[in-house]
Every structure is written in C-alpha cells, then in structure tokens.
Amino acid sequence: MVERGSNSGDFSIPRDLFSPEHEQYRASVRRFVESELVPHHDAWEKAGIVPRDVWRRAGEIGMLCPSIPEEYGGFGGDWLYNVVVIEELWRHGISGPGFMVHSDLCAPYILAWGSEEVKQRYLPKMVTGEIIGALGMTEPGAGSDVKTIRTRAVREGDDYVIDGQKVYISNGQLADIVVTACKTDPDGGARGVSLIVVPTDTPGFARGRNLDKIGMKAQDTSELFYAAVRVPAGNLLGGEGRGFSMMMTKLAQERLAQAVRSAVVCEQAIQWTVAYTRERKAFGGTIADFQNTQFTLATLATETMAARVFTDWCIKRFLDGELSAVDAAKVKLLVTDLHCKVVDQCLQFFGGYGYMTEYPIARAYVDARITRIAGGAAEVMKQIIGRDLFENAA
C-alpha cells in the first residue's frame, strides 16, 4: 500500500523560487507534519475536528502566519513561507488543520486594514495559535456574489450591533475571532459592505453544528449566528463601505493559495499512482506495463508540469505585487480543474482499492471537489476571465 506522505516516483521539476532559508523551513515543517499530524489525521477525520493543542504546537515552530511582521509576533518572512506550509500539508494529504484559512485568509485582512490596537491585540496570538481565526463571508443566500450578503451591522455609539447568519465557515467550531462581512449600508450594494472582527466569546454569537462534509472531514466547518452581537467600532477594518474592495484585493491571494494546494496534490497523486501501478500485478505483468496506463499518466504528468510552471509564475507575480485579479482567476480555474481530473483518473488505476478511504488517493479524491468552489466557483472565474477578454478586445 502507498502510505500517506509517500514520495515514491517524484517527477517534480526544479524550482528557483525558494532560498536555502525557505528549504530549511520546509524541512522543519515537514518533520512536524510527519511526526505530529500524519499519525493522528485519521482519528481527526472521524472526530470531525483537530484538537486546539495542535495549533499551539504548530505556532511554536512558526507554521502559523509566518509572513506576519516581527512587531506583531511573527518572523517577518515573505509569502513563500506560507507556500511551504500549504505544500507540505497537502503533499501529505493533511486536510484537517485549517492553517490556510487562519494564515492566508483571516490574518491578512487584520494586518492590512486593522488599527494598530487591533493588530497588537490579535496578531501575536494568531502567530502562537492561542487565537484561531476564521473568515465569515458566505451566507445561506450569498456565496460567490458577496455584495448580496444580508448580515447587518448598525452603528450604535462606540459599537456595532450585528445580526445575521453565516454558513460553511471553515474553522467555525474552533475560531476565537471571525472577520465578518456585514452590510453597514443595506442599500449601498457593494459599497455597503464592511468587514468587522468579531470575537466569538461576545454575547449573542453562537455556533451551529459541525457540518458533515463529503471531504476534508477533519476540518471543522460551521454555521455561525449573530443575534445583537455588540463589538467595538474599532474592530472595523479599513472603514465603512470598503469591505467589498478589500475582499477583491485579498481574493487574488486566496485563489492563488488554492492553486498552490492543487498543484502539489496533482504531483503527489501521480507519484502514488506510478508507485502503485508498478507493484500491482495483472495479466502476467503489472498495470504499469499497459499502454493505457503509460499514456494516461504521461498526459497527466505533462499537464501537471505546465500547471506547476504557471502556478510558480503567479507566485512570483504575487510576491512582486503584480498578480492581477484576472491572472489569479486563470490559475485558480486551470489548476483546480486539473486537480479534480488528476485524482479522478489516478483513482481509476487503483480499482476497488481506490474506493477505500485507507488509501490516500481516495481521500484526495473527496477532498479535491471543494477546490472548484472555494475562493470563488469555477463559473465565476470564467466570468471574470471572459469579461476581461471582451472588455479589452480591440
């Protein structure tokens, strides 16, 4: 059996993104993943949640919010350190700890637009894992179209009073703070959306059940309820009515992070499949001897290499502050579509074994489907790309 975390048949291309310091960090992260996460992940999938002490231990070795500046408790690394964490988690099939949501979705909003007092209050403890963050955008009637949210925030003196509901919120059961998208002007459309940091111990805040998903079962996902939740006006990020524009800015990072995840899973799934088909006997030989096996995996490997090159190009653009929303949509669309294709076609070579959750390819298959939805549905990515094509046509 090919075990979770196996690197058999590595075919990945040389990459020039990472410095020796990044690779030293990768070695540390990989040791932590293999010793502290891999042995327990199956149990966490059954429990539907990862224990809080795992977050504290991850914080101790610098896995949480590694790009947060030193003045807020981080070590001030560039975003490549975040990339390393994403890659090492998904290279080993670790879908449970919601570190990407915490470090790449929640913390960047606070760092970019929080007041100095808010940044000092929350970011150091997010680095250590004492505070777990979530991002509250999706509602029962508002998904990719964020401007249609209905959660309402009304200014009353020095506070905002929030009423509403969120759904499908990753880290929802564990979160200590939720960066919450609210309507401060219900008639303002996109200009009426604001972002407010909501501590989950505030009276009136309540969590629903831990939702039962088809994949990523170890990552807690919840409904959240706000009933006259009163938070200080200072918890507003960036100013009233700026929430939509801030989300559009940070969504490029979220979409690139999804592509980073998908690229490494494609590489890993092919490696698992090459190793398995070389061992699996059939009709006097191995499955790897069949032309169909070789041709299918050759095509997938070629497409994955192209996706890796595109993803790394987008990472470089992002680090230089030049990744456009359109290019982020393109890489997210391309690589997450390929992700679903690769795990589906690779699973086929495992036969009945591939349908058993003890095999990493089975877990990769069910975990993959959300990538075409999270961070903006594939159809929304096509709309963004298509609009750009026609608006900029000569």
Residues identified as active-site: 254
The residue assigned the tokens 């075919």 is 11
Rounded Cα distance between 171 and 167, Å, is 11
Say if residues 138 and 167 touch (Cβ distance below 8 Å): yes
Sequence letter at residue 216: M
Six token digits for residue 178: 């939720």
The residue count of the chain comes to: 394
The residue assigned the tokens 């290019």 is 327
CB under 8 A, 24+ apart: contacts of 116-119: 117/234, 118/197, 118/234, 118/235, 118/237, 119/72
Say if residues 87 and 28 touch (Cβ distance below 8 Å): no
Rounded Cα distance between 319 and 312, Å, is 11
Helices (H), the chain: 20-32, 41-47, 52-60, 79-91, 99-100, 107-113, 116-128, 243-279, 291-319, 325-349, 360-368, 378-391
Say if residues 330 and 385 touch (Cβ distance below 8 Å): yes
Residues 6+ apart with CB under 8 A from 211: 168, 221, 222, 223
CA angle 113–115–119, rounded 5-degree value? 90
